[in-house]
Structure 1
Amino acid sequence: MTVHVLILCTHNSARSVLSEGMLNHLAARLGRDVRAHSAGSAPSGRLNPFALQALNAAGIDTAACRSKSWDEFTGPDAPPLSIVITVCDSAAAESCPVFHGGSGSNGAPPVKVHWGYPDPSNAEGGDAGKARAFELARQAIGYRMLQLLALPLETMDRAALQAALTAIGRS
Structure 2
Amino acid sequence: MIGYLALDVGRARPDLLPALQNPQEPIMRDTDFDVLFICSGNSARSIFAEALLRDLGQGKFQAFSAGFAPKAEPDAFALDVLKRNGHSIEGLRSKPLAEFQKPDAIVMDFVFTVCDTAAGEECPPWEGQPITGHWGLPDPVKATGTDAEKALVFAQTYAMLRRRIMAFVALPFESLNKLALQHGVDAISTEALKAEKV
TM-score range, shorter chain: 0.7 to 0.9
Structure exhibiting the larger radius of gyration computed from Cα positions: 2
Q: TM-score, normalised by structure 2?
A: 0.75
Q: CA deviation at 1:138?
A: 0.8
Identity of aligned residues (%): 37
Distance (whole Å) between structure 2 residues aligned to residue 154 and residue 99 of structure 1: 30
1:8 aligns with 2:28: no
Distance (whole Å) between structure 2 residues aligned to residue 33 and residue 67 of structure 1: 23
Superposed CA RMSD in Å reads 1.6
1:25 aligns with 2:55: yes
Distance (whole Å) between structure 2 residues aligned to residue 43 and residue 66 of structure 1: 9
Out of 148, 151, 175, the position equivalent to 1:131 is 151
Partner of 1:71: 98
Unaligned 5+ runs, structure 1: none
CA offsets, 1:54-87, max 9 Å, x none? Answer: 0010010001000011111122332220110000
Distance (whole Å) between structure 1 residues aligned to residue 68 and residue 174 of structure 2: 28
Unaligned 5+ runs, structure 2: 1-30, 193-198
Partner of 1:141: 161
> Contact 1:32–1:149 (CA<8 Å) still a contact in 2?
no
> Contact 1:3–1:153 (CA<8 Å) still a contact in 2?
no
Distance (whole Å) between structure 2 residues aligned to residue 149 and residue 130 of structure 1: 29
CA 1:82/1:101 → structure 2, altered by over 3 Å: closer, same or farther? farther
Q: How many residues align?
A: 160
Distance (whole Å) between structure 2 residues aligned to residue 154 and residue 103 of structure 1: 22
Describe how 1:1-171 pairs up with structure 2 within 5 A: 1-27=31-57, 31-88=58-115, 90=116, 94-96=117-119, 97-104=121-128, 109-170=129-190, 171=192
> Contact 1:3–1:33 (CA<8 Å) still a contact in 2?
yes
Q: CA deviation at 1:95?
A: 5.0
> Contact 2:38–2:118 (CA<8 Å) still a contact in 1?
no
Distance (whole Å) between structure 2 residues aligned to residue 149 and residue 157 of structure 1: 15
CA offsets, 1:79-120, max 9 Å, x none? Answer: 2201100001x3xxx35445533433xxxx111111011111
> Contact 2:41–2:67 (CA<8 Å) still a contact in 1?
yes
Q: TM-score, normalised by structure 1?
A: 0.87
CA 1:161/1:68 → structure 2, altered by over 3 Å: closer, same or farther? same
SS in 2 for 1:81: coil
